[in-house]
């Protein structure tokens, strides 16, 4: 049994629960049928987010995965090539949706969740070629989930979008955690979004809303996306109850993301002292900590189960790879306690390379 009453849940920043203020905002939401464009709260949120990101229009979607899928369906044809960073959400976490829904193939490039413009240039397959699949979309994941919440360097993203424009390739940002990227980089979300044709943002991650994402782009893109949202089953009715939580989250939970980032750094600093794993605390830029186990004696999945027995929930990303995510419902003390529990479990393992 856990030696503390409450479980510390570091599996994801999606596990947060609405606070009393958010629930009150939900209860007071002014709603209508969103498919008739009559949901007041959703319309307000769409306008606010479009303005916040400096784009023409925004469109409510139930999840980030659906938003990514709708964007791809809207801007590519079956057989097209989409360039992404290795370990991207689109490749690993959408159950093959891009192949099933849009019928595209991926070219995965770069390291640590990002790539330079030369690597992008080299990976572009020309259109109207009798052999190559045409590259019609490039995706940037900001921040990068599986690579540990890392920032895609904004100046590099700008170069990539510039080249994409010259080659008539749609530039798309999977910005599920764009909010964290803005806080960590000191740039505005509008600055980070500016070079891209379209951006996806989520309210259900660090912002702490119970659900919802948005596609943000020009009028023409959003107009076409509306059809595929319906086709994919994501057109809803009184979405204002969700939209109200997102509006609350934007005004109350943005600034405090710095706490999550500081907690992730503290968690990483403590974990890095453990000889059974590799983790560079300086690589932690936002709210995600990813480490590799160096001991052969325990696999990531086994560590996850052992930590659970100690009241700490974490995720295995691979055989030896573990992910922890900080959020508004865990404190600094929770993070330090979680690190101690993990170190305690690992300390029962033999030291690697010990004589």
Ligand X SMILES: *Cc1c(COP(=O)(O)O)cnc(C)c1O
Tokens 């994801």 map to which residue?
Answer: 12
Report in angstroms how near the CB of residue 348 gets to ligand X at its nearest.
32
Residues 208-227: x where in contact with ligand X by CB under 6 A, - otherwise, as a string: -----x--------------
Residue in 9, 39, 80, 174 binding ligand X, rule: CB under 6 A: 174
Cβ proximity to ligand X: between 143 and 341 the closer is 143
Number of residues that bind ligand X (CB under 6 A): 13
CB of 340 to ligand X, least distance (A): 27
CB of 181 to ligand X, least distance (A): 11
Please state, in angstroms and as integers, the Cα–Cα distance from residue 129 to each residue in 42, 132, 181, 256, 339, following that order.
43, 6, 37, 50, 53
Residues 330 and 14 sit within 8 Å (Cβ to Cβ): no
Task: Answer yes or no whether residue 181 interacts with ligand X by CB under 6 A.
Answer: no
Among 46, 75, 202, 286, binds ligand X (CB under 6 A): 202
Strand-by-strand arrangement of the 315-316 sheet: 277-278, 288-293, 321-325, 315-316
Question: Residue 46 or 69: which CB sits closer to ligand X?
Answer: 69
Cβ proximity to ligand X: between 176 and 293 the closer is: 176
Q: Residue 87, interface with ligand X (CB under 6 A)?
A: no
Taking CA atoms, 83 is separated from 15, 20, 69, 152, in Å, by: 30, 42, 15, 15
With a CB cutoff of 8 Å and minimum separation 6, the contacts of 100 are: none
| Of the candidate residues 55, 73, 89, 328, the single one contacting ligand X (CB under 6 A) | 89
Candidates 276, 279, 259; CA nearest to 327 is 259
Query: Does 187 contact ligand X by CB under 6 A?
Result: no
Among 300, 305, 312, residue whose Cα is nearest residue 2? 312
Q: Burial, 87: exposed, middle or buried (Cβ in 10 Å; 0-12, 13-18, 19+)? A: buried
Where b means 16+ CB within 10 Å and e means fewer, 57-70 reads: bbbbbbebbbbbbb
* Dihedral sign computed on CA atoms, order 191, 263, 143, 95: negative
Residue with tokens 């920032």: 151
Residue 65 engages ligand X in binding (rule: CB under 6 A): yes
Does 176 help bind ligand X (rule: CB under 6 A)?
Answer: yes
Contacts with ligand X, 122-141, as mask; x by CB under 6 A: -------------------x
- Backbone φ, ψ for residue 199 (5° rounding): -135, 145
Q: Give least dist CB 172 to ligand X, A.
A: 11
Stretch of residues binding ligand X (CB under 6 A), selected from 164-172, 199-207, 256-264, 304-312: 199-207
21, 252 Cβ separation under 8 angstroms: yes
- Pick between residue 148 and residue 240 the one whose CB is nearest to ligand X: 148
- Within 10 angstroms of residue 119's Cβ, the number of other Cβ atoms is 15
Residue nearest to ligand X (CB): 64
Q: Residues 145, 150, 245, 285: which binds ligand X (CB under 6 A)?
A: 145
202 or 286: CB nearest ligand X: 202
Question: Among 76, 150, 204, 287, which residue sits at the site for ligand X (rule: CB under 6 A)?
Answer: 204
Q: How far apart are CA 326 and CA 335, in angstroms?
A: 8
In angstroms and rounded to an integer, the radius of gyration of the C-alpha atoms of the chain is 21
At closest approach, how far in Å is the CB of 66 from ligand X?
7
Query: Which parts of this chain interact with ligand X (CB under 6 A)?
Result: 63-65, 68, 89, 141, 145, 174, 176, 202, 204-205, 213
């Amino acid at each position: 049994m856990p030696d503390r009453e409450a479980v510390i849940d570091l599996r994801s920043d999606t596990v947060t629960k609405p606070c009393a203020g958010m629930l009150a905002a939900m209860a007071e939401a002014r709603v209508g049928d969103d498919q008739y464009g009559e949901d007041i709260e959703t319309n307000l949120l769409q306008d606010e987010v479009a303005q916040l990101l400096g784009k023409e229009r925004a469109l409510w979607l139930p999840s980030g995965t659906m938003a990514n899928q709708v964007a791809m369906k809207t801007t590519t044809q079956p057989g097209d090539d989409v360039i992404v960073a290795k370990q991207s959400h689109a490749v690993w976490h959408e159950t093959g949706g891009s192949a099933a829904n849009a019928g595209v193939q991926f070219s995965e490039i770069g390291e640590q969740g990002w790539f330079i413009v030369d690597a992008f240039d080299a990976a572009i397959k020309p259109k109207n070629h009798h052999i190559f699949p045409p590259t019609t979309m490039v995706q940037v994941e900001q921040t990068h989930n599986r690579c540990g919440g890392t920032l895609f360097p904004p100046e590099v993203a700008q170069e990539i979008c510039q080249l994409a424009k010259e080659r008539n390739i749609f530039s798309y940002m999977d910005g599920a955690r764009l909010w964290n990227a803005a806080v960590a980089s000191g740039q505005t979300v509008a600055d980070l979004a500016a070079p891209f044709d379209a951006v996806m943002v989520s309210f259900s991650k660090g912002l702490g809303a119970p659900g919802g994402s948005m596609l943000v782009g020009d009028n023409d893109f959003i107009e076409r996306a509306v059809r595929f949202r319906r086709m994919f089953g994501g057109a809803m009715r009184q979405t204002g109850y969700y939209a109200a939580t997102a509006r609350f989250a934007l005004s109350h939970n943005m600034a405090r993301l710095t706490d999550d980032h500081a907690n992730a750094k503290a968690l990483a600093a403590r974990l890095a002292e453990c000889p059974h794993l590799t983790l560079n605390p300086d690589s932690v830029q936002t709210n995600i900590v990813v480490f590799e186990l160096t001991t052969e004696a325990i696999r990531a999945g086994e560590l996850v189960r052992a930590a659970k027995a100690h009241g700490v929930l974490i995720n295995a990303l691979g055989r030896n790879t573990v992910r922890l995510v900080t959020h508004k419902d865990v404190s600094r003390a929770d993070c330090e306690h979680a690190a101690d529990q993990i170190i305690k479990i690992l300390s029962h393992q033999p030291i690697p390379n010990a004589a």
